[in-house]
Structure 1
């Protein structure tokens, strides 16, 4: 079955990207900690990164891919190219205008993006300048998204999955440049990082243009026109972007609220980076691969095949996501300490970031479920239903974040922990609404293998959680702050090895995954 192989391709490249991203985050935490520059960069990067996630990781393509696939299969390659060029022209025109307006208006927009920064003029001005530098990145990434959708429809996933490797490599190079120039933990260092974001966008765009060329499907920029195809894309695209990007919109809202607490923005940023590793590897891989697959199945009238693909995608996702969520919830302190606590990143930052990470982890399976369930709507050109549920979830998250932030602060608790709680609840609400509606419409149902797998995965993950808790107690001395970095790394490696061993044994013992089944799946296609 090619589906599993495609998951492995996208997930593997995403894993490589996230490993490089962790090296970047470790270096950034060492150089900038969770202070003023780190807070300003988190905001400056968050806004264009929101568009990267909305467009580059599937939300835009939720509307574009089904329409492009319909043109390709119904009217041929030339008609599909014409539609893609129309979409390219319209998208480029809108985003160029948006970029110019946003850069000019950024001193006023910052009061919306980070209102709490206004209490510290130096931080506010730095965030404005850095966001103006990074903003053109969203133009590059939006075009990258369109080109990725074309390649994904043809079953080509390498280039679109490698773009984050370029981003993380370029930002890591920016940190090294700051170190060489003596700019670490200084406003100048933050500006270097913002420039690196812009450069990364240009390099990513070049990578996708080259990918199209090598697959003999070049696109030309033409004059924007509101054709019937573009009207349909806009009709589906706006709800699709809102629905597919609800997770990132939740995080953006959290950043706005957290700006009222010093250090909170960057601590949320670091926790977000950690829990997004499994979300990226599993959720994004499934979302990117599953939508074209389900769309093709439905175009062929194979409803049973579409449901089968969803069940296998869900099985694959939960097999990897549930244990990841358990691990992040059980040993967050050890993970954050080993990865980030050095240089400007203090023990207090570790405690706060690990608390946020543990709560974020509780919502991780929900965010992956959203990635698995949404393609069933998008492939049927229904983007309005997921959008309605996204708005409900977003509203609940916003109100919950505001209420819990101030309530927790009044109790003397970590205020931005309330943001994490609201984000997790919002994710589960969205996933539940998508799930129930699909079942009511008869578009999805769990098959018997999936039902059995859920129980087995839950048991194996619980066993792993107990093992991690016991192992963490046993290895507590290894994480003492008087011990060396190598000792800390040895302790974390031992925890990972123990957790992996227990989970693997439990999965094999219960039959949640069989070696023969895995080999067969990888050989198919």
Structure 2
């Protein structure tokens, strides 16, 4: 790996993403106070999730996995003007597709809600509110997918900061709508839905100046003469499924959640928001950096390819393991500290804790899959991740059907984590078989030291955590201060312990050097 260590880019993206996630927590605290975990919350969360699923299909997940490798190839082998024409052509076809899907989604909102949350049909008020909200939020798909196009271009050119900061505008828009507009409406969820719509527009506008700087702010065109366009379209179909496995599993859970019990959709949403913090701050940042890096190395047939993949997997383990332990132990304190206000009750916090524990078990395999799948996409192989994604979805559905009714949200969350583990294992095994990945020396000692250290940190957190009654008796600021103190203590002990145990990977990354062989 080069002297310019990619960890710098991961940290840059992660810091901006952390700001967005913190605002996201503020957003969810406000929504919890406003909606709680009842009918209105269920309706809004489903209406918000549906365009996010299609965003994965048409936007950041599938599009990045298919578009970025081809764009990287163009940058390396074609002229500047050919590369700009290619981007404009892809933008044209993506815009047309998004426009059609958005119109169909708005007109067919009732059918979409019935397909995604069939249990809502038993409550006409909840069903009709969800449909009304979806017609407002669905155009978010159009804007955020174009944001993904811009982000893919900027990431390919090494401009990671703007795409990482962009989600801040969505959270600010929703917060503003919930605080300043919602109190004046008979149905406050309408205001929040419009906040989603406006947030999508703001995110797209924020990207445009950065696109101009890299020379790609051009009007979309509808041409298919460029072979690169056809290649992206061919790759994007399988990539849409492969990149969306986690979202598809989540939506299968949403369907079952609407059937197995009241408020289960809301319990899953609040717990998923906490799991998305480490996945978003670290998992997304690492995947964003790894894809263009591996794409370039694959195009150059560089011997650094397996070393880069090994570096990313070590970083996944060393960050994902303590994050998993901390989240599992502090699950209920975190939910109480962030959401136990207004309409969100202590019982809601306990029920959300169950699903958070189930989701937390999947942190490591989900991040690992976000590192392993780009190794295939870098070689423009989207079919293999799709096959494994289909197996993962089948595993999720099978376990969900077994556990959903007896365990409700806990069973659904466990099914999601099991599916993620199967997906990550299959990707890892295939890369080993194809010779694209070879573990570098030092893994056994790394696993032993880090696992022992994580156990110690877990015991310290258990001793200092306190019981539920204590957390419920504290004020907002006392809760937040206590959570922050425990988190900082655990992080400090982990880093100090890693230094003392001689986990060289952390030392080398701190000094911005490639990992030792």
> Structure 1's 54 and 10: CA in aligned 2 closer, same or farther, altered over 3 A?
farther
In structure 1, runs of 5+ residues without a counterpart are: 409-413
Choose from 6, 21, 26 the match for 1:23: 26
Distance in 2, matches of 1:477 and 1:119, equals 36
Choose from 153, 156, 163 the match for 1:153: 156
Q: Where does residue 89 of structure 2 map in the other structure?
A: 86
> Structure 1's 84 and 104: CA in aligned 2 closer, same or farther, altered over 3 A?
same
Distance in 2, matches of 1:223 and 1:56, equals 18
Contact 2:163 2:207 in 1 (8 A): yes
Q: What SS is found at the alignment partner of 2:114?
A: helix
> Structure 1's 519 and 351: CA in aligned 2 closer, same or farther, altered over 3 A?
closer
Distance in 1, matches of 2:59 and 2:445, equals 34
Show the 5 A alignment for 1:255-266. Answer: 255-260=254-259, 261-266=261-266
Q: What SS is found at the alignment partner of 1:97?
A: helix
Contact 1:58 1:288 in 2 (8 A): no
Q: How far did residue 513 of structure 1 move?
A: 4.8
Q: How far did residue 55 of structure 1 move?
A: 5.1
Show the 5 A alignment for 1:45-84. Answer: 45-54=48-57, 56-84=59-87
Contact 1:62 1:240 in 2 (8 A): yes
Show the 5 A alignment for 1:52-451. Answer: 52-54=55-57, 56-178=59-181, 180-181=183-184, 183=185, 188-225=187-224, 227-260=226-259, 261-302=261-302, 304-406=303-405, 408=406, 414-451=407-444
Contact 1:270 1:353 in 2 (8 A): yes
Contact 1:322 1:365 in 2 (8 A): yes
> Structure 1's 449 and 165: CA in aligned 2 closer, same or farther, altered over 3 A?
farther
Q: Where does residue 507 of structure 1 map in the other structure?
A: 498
Q: Where does residue 509 of structure 2 map in the other structure?
A: 518
Q: How far did residue 478 of structure 1 move?
A: 3.7
Contact 1:134 1:194 in 2 (8 A): yes
Q: What SS is found at the alignment partner of 1:151?
A: helix
Distance in 2, matches of 1:440 and 1:393, equals 19
Q: How far did residue 145 of structure 1 move?
A: 1.0
Q: What SS is found at the alignment partner of 2:108?
A: helix
Number of residue-to-residue matches in the alignment: 511
In structure 2, runs of 5+ residues without a counterpart are: none
> Please, what TM-score do these two structures have when normalized by structure 2?
0.95
RMSD: 1.9
Q: How far did residue 493 of structure 1 move?
A: 2.7
Matched, 1:485 2:472: no
Q: What SS is found at the alignment partner of 1:230?
A: helix
Matched, 1:463 2:456: yes
Contact 1:93 1:224 in 2 (8 A): no
> Structure 1's 352 and 206: CA in aligned 2 closer, same or farther, altered over 3 A?
same
Q: How far did residue 189 of structure 1 move?
A: 0.9
Distance in 2, matches of 1:135 and 1:159, equals 24
Q: What SS is found at the alignment partner of 1:207?
A: helix
Render the CA deviation track for 1:280-317: whole Å, top value 9, x for unaligned.
11111111110100111122221x21111111112222
Distance in 2, matches of 1:338 and 1:93, equals 44
> Structure 1's 37 and 468: CA in aligned 2 closer, same or farther, altered over 3 A?
same
Q: What SS is found at the alignment partner of 2:19?
A: helix
Q: What SS is found at the alignment partner of 2:304?
A: helix
Contact 2:157 2:214 in 1 (8 A): no
Distance in 1, matches of 2:200 and 2:168, equals 12
Q: How far did residue 214 of structure 1 move?
A: 2.4
Distance in 1, matches of 2:131 and 2:228, equals 38
Q: How far did residue 34 of structure 1 move?
A: 0.5
